[in-house]
């Protein structure tokens, strides 16, 4: 029922009290609602459609989400794409990305050519991003002068993690994204 129908019937709706009042002769009729039922109706009203049937289900991974963030239901997560194909889009052999194998041949070739035409948008290392303003990406420690400095406990990394951390640090130093600062300990 819409607002014009409710007005013609002389109905007053209070969503706060979960009550609807209307005239019955010379008396006032009341319809009360249960908060559990109203919450369930509200949740159902926020759903975005339903899952397609098996016959007309598309070949893509479609996720039906509830738009109410207050819902206490578990959120579904999209499934991982099973079949991916690695393609080279840059001049260097390391400039690769992945696309799905479920694409039609015509769509795949169109997508690959589009990615290759726009390869200047991709960033393969920090050195490829010299135009980013340092004021935008710099991290500054907010240290209150009223507190004493405390040296953190030394933590040992595994050999593999240590090597990866050293490589990443060297890349960032070479790109002038970071610099070494000596703090008194």
Distance, in Å, from the CA atom of 48 to the CA atom of 89, rounded to the nearest integer, reads 37
Host H or E run for residue 100: strand 96-100
Hey, how many other C-beta atoms are within 10 angstroms of the C-beta on 108?
16
pLDDT at 81: 58
**In-domain check, residue 53:** no
pLDDT at 3: 77
**In-domain check, residue 138:** yes
Give the residue from 124, 99, 119 showing the smallest Cα distance to 109: 99
Q: Which of 93-102, 140-149, 159-168, 176-185 shows the highest mean pLDDT?
A: 159-168
pLDDT at 62: 53
pLDDT at 123: 80
- Beta-bridged to residue 74, according to DSSP, are none
**In-domain check, residue 100:** yes
Distance, in Å, from the CA atom of 72 to the CA atom of 90, rounded to the nearest integer, reads 45
Distance, in Å, from the CA atom of 22 to the CA atom of 7, rounded to the nearest integer, reads 10
Q: Does the pTM of the predicted model rise above 0.75? A: no
Question: What DSSP letter does each residue of 7-55 carry, written as one string?
Answer: HHHT-EEETTTTEEEEEETTEEEEEE--HHHHHHHHHHHTB---PPPST
Q: Are 85 and 101 in contact (CB under 8 A)?
A: yes
**In-domain check, residue 37:** no
**In-domain check, residue 94:** yes
**In-domain check, residue 55:** no
pLDDT at 163: 92
pLDDT at 114: 92
Instruction: Return the sign of the alpha-carbon dihedral for residues 123, 90, 160, 178.
Output: negative
Summarised one tens digit per residue, pLDDT across range 36-83 is: 776 777 777 777 655 555 555 555 555 555 555 555 555 556 666 567
Query: How many folded domains does the chain comprise?
Result: 1
Q: What is the mean pLDDT of the chain?
A: 76
More confident residue, 179 or 79: 179
**In-domain check, residue 159:** no
Distance, in Å, from the CA atom of 66 to the CA atom of 12, rounded to the nearest integer, reads 30
**In-domain check, residue 7:** no
Tokens of 178: 């970071």
Q: Residue 138 belongs to what domain range?
A: 80-144+167-173
């Amino acid at each position: 029922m819409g607002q014009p129908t409710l007005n013609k019937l002389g109905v007053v709706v209070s969503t706060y009290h979960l009550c609807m009042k209307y005239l019955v002769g010379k008396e006032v009729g009341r319809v009360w609602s249960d908060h559990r039922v109203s919450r369930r109706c509200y949740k159902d009203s926020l759903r975005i459609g339903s899952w397609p049937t098996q016959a007309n289900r598309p070949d893509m991974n479609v996720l039906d989400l509830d738009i109410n963030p207050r819902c206490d239901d578990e959120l579904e997560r999209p499934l991982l794409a099973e079949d991916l194909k690695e393609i080279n889009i840059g001049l260097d052999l390391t400039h690769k990305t992945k696309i799905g194998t479920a694409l039609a041949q015509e769509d795949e070739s169109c997508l690959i050519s589009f990615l290759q035409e726009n390869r200047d948008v991709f960033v393969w290392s920090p050195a490829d991003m010299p135009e980013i303003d340092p004021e935008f990406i710099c991290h500054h420690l907010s240290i209150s002068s009223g507190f004493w400095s405390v040296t953190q406990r030394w933590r040992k990394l595994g050999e593999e993690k240590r090597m990866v951390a050293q490589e990443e640090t060297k890349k960032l130093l070479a790109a002038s994204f970071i610099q070494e600062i000596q703090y008194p300990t």
